[in-house]
Structure 1
Amino acid sequence: MDRKSYSARTLDPGALKSFAHPLRLRLYELLEERGPATATQLAGLVGENTGATSYHLRELARHRMIEVVPGMGRGKEKYWRVTPGGFSYGDADPDPEAARALEFLLDDLVRQRGAELSRWREEERDTPQEWVRASGLGRRALRLTPEETTAMRDAVFAVLEDYRALSDSRLPASAADPGFGHVVVHFDVFPVRADRDPEP
């Protein structure tokens, strides 16, 4: 089954297998959340030594998940950032190892979304009001055909792609600007079985 991708690239099986590693996922999340950082800074955040974080950062860079920020750092010091443009996981690969990696990554995506939503509910009360007013949580249950669902999905992703391109055009200058926030958008669309047992 082919899905339209709105990302700059779709991860190939090698990248999927490399990315499906708990520490690499955490390093990627930290770079995405906090902006550019060195291996030493990241080591302190994840409780690993710099050699380990350097190795895993190089692995992420080998698959173009992250890149060195030009002009940042002194001497041999490297600042890493998430590669602009985003990526998608694509469809299941016939290679069993790549298929298992995709399952791991999708499960981690669900975990990350739950953690981010829970964290927002805790942090909302201490967040400046302009950000609270700009945020939104929503859920809609719709009666649609597969074709209508596909059209809606593509329309939402097209809007998100416009804003992703705007965000990417501001990196890395906006990372330290207090006028900008790290904004996360979750979007899921999937059918719910009508014959499932109702939840209590």
Structure 2
Amino acid sequence: MESQHDQASTSTEASTPTPEQLRALTHPIRLRLLGILRINGSATATDLARMTELNTGSTSYHLRILAKYGFIERDSELSSGRKLFWKAKQLYTTVEDPSPDSDDIENKLDAAGAFMQVAATETTRQILQAASDWRTMDTAWQKATTMSDYAMMLTPHEADDIAKEVQGILLNAMQQHPLIHHDTKRSQGSKKTEGSTTDPQRKAVEMQFHLFPIAQGLLR
């Protein structure tokens, strides 16, 4: 399972958390804050409180937890005095697929399962927001927006092969089209992020990919 985003503001491309780290991320607010930092780049607790309609005390607390477990870090270039900016440390998060004979298998499965449920909730929130916004999008983005599902009969190995192929395409696209964000200094009139464009049609886009066996109850 992967949660992608901003290459320009991250130190490394991917993170594969330990069960303890994954449990720290298994919180809807933390997952959302991390996603915002990966998309928009560095921000303060106050910035994030405004974006999420939370109070600064709440965002500050969750940011400290994310930092403690290695998902974000202080942006030393932007931070000044008591004004602390945070940035994501990785482009996306991967969850280990533990083999049945691996050490601490139950702990790993519990942590991964809990994370997947929170990630599914956040994904659903984003999909519902996009569906709500669709009516007011311009025609080009209405046409480009898609919410599709593709059902087929596969073995586990076939499903894994297809998932890896699609994920490879998407990761390659992320490399070719890194997210464009404007940090605090740039928003005050200095130079833009490398690769940015003045094209008003260019937007940050999220493509979500899911693959799972259909519940047997739905097949009857």
Category of TM-score, reference length = shorter chain: 0.7 to 0.9
Q: Give the SS at the match of 2:92.
A: coil
Q: TM-score, normalised by structure 1?
A: 0.76
Percent of aligned positions that are identical:
25
1:47 and 2:54 equivalent?
Answer: yes
Query: CA distance change for structure 1 residues 84 and 166 in 2, over 3 Å: closer, same or farther?
Result: farther
Partner of 2:211: 189
Partner of 2:152: 142
CA displacement, residues 88-122 of structure 1 (integer Å, 9 cap, x when unaligned): 12235837565443322211121122222221111
Query: Take 1:103 and 1:190, find their aligned partners in 2: how far apart are those partners?
Result: 13
Q: What is the deviation of 1:74?
A: 3.9
Partner of 1:10: 16
Query: CA distance change for structure 1 residues 71 and 180 in 2, over 3 Å: closer, same or farther?
Result: farther
Structure 2 gap ranges (5+)? 5-12, 183-192
Which amino acid in 2 is paired with 1:12?
A: T
Partner of 1:101: 111
What is the total number of aligned residue pairs between the two structures? 194
Larger strand share, 1 or 2:
2
Partner of 2:96: 90
Query: Take 1:56 and 1:41, find their aligned partners in 2: how far apart are those partners?
Result: 14
Query: Take 1:131 and 1:188, find their aligned partners in 2: how far apart are those partners?
Result: 22
Which amino acid in 2 is paired with 1:182?
A: A
1:61 and 2:82 equivalent?
Answer: no
| Bigger Cα displacement from structure 2, 29-38 vs 123-132 | 29-38
The alignment yields a C-alpha RMSD, in angstroms, of: 3.4
Q: What is the deviation of 1:197?
A: 5.2
Q: TM-score, normalised by structure 2?
A: 0.70
Query: Take 1:36 and 1:176, find their aligned partners in 2: how far apart are those partners?
Result: 20
Structure 1 gap ranges (5+)? none
